Amino acid sequence: MGRLSGKTILITGAASGIGRVALELFAKEGARLVAVDQEEATLAEAVAELETEALAVPADITDPEGVEQAFQEGLEEFGQLHGLAHFAGVAHSAISWKLSLEDWERVLRVNPTGSFLVARKAGEVLGEGGSLVLTGSVAALGAFGLAHYATSKMGILGLARTLALELAPKGIRVNALVPGLIATPMTASLPDWAWRAEVEASPLRRAGRPEEVARAALFLLSEESRFITGQALFVDGGRSIAGLPSLPPGFAKGGGKGVHGC
């Protein structure tokens, strides 16, 4: 039996990156899956490749009605939900004095507000023994060129801790993953100097792999972590205990793209 046998898990951001790897891993561990993403074609492809009961639900996590519909379809299909793995998010980089209000608001709308909408609904429908896993980022500790992203991810950590307190009487656990630099489509566009700086600043001297984050989520959703709630699990190769990476000459003066992980 798999570590998620008998459980139905809703995964957001399931069409690509960490979310898609988690979808495949959870399927192998015996879970029934509700896969949510706004990229409909890619989502359908991801679900079609699974050898388990799975439902693809195209939805925008920033739309309350879309979130409601995603959970409703999952409940109609499987009867019950046992966990949430929330990976959907967006990253964008700009030095603060060149950061538009539109980009600031877009990142905050998707990351903490989207997390709130999804987690709020999960807290409503999950029963005792349920587990919510949200996704922060080591960037929350401070990241050059990522004022909006860092703010958004720190907000998610606060949200997870608060929901852990509020949902504990219902027997529902809430934790957050805090990835560092992970090799995903989101980070593929990083300039070479930024990638090297992040790797060199990590004590393990490498980027993480999506499956390493997915396995941490698996642990938090499984019965193995049933006495763990309100925690931030850093999956960052030690990046959070290292200093800020060095920046190329003239970067602060000229602006440019910042470094981001998950």
- Annotated active-site residue 172? The verdict is no
pTM for this entry: 0.92
φ, ψ of residue 253 to 5 degrees: the values are -70, -40
Q: Is residue 17 predicted with pLDDT exceeding 50?
A: yes
**Closest to 179 in 3D by CA, of 151, 211, 147:** 211
CA distance linking residue 78 with residue 9, whole number of Å: 10
Q: What is the pLDDT of residues 225-237, one digit of tens each?
A: 999 999 999 999 9
The active-site residue, picked from 149, 155, 179, 222, is 149
Q: Which two tokens stand for residue 190?
A: 């990083």
Question: Pick the residue with more confidence: 125 or 93?
Answer: 125
pLDDT value of residue 248: 53
Q: What is the mean pLDDT of residues 196-208?
A: 90
Identify the structural domains of the chain with CATH numbers, from first to last.
8-254 (3.40.50.720)
Q: What is the pLDDT of residues 207-216, one digit of tens each?
A: 999 999 999 9
Q: Is the dihedral of CA 251, 252, 255, 256 positive or negative?
A: positive
CA distance linking residue 158 with residue 111, whole number of Å: 13
Please list the alpha-helical segments (H only) found in 29-146. 40-48, 64-78, 101-108, 114-125
Cβ neighbours around 213 below 10 Å, total? 28
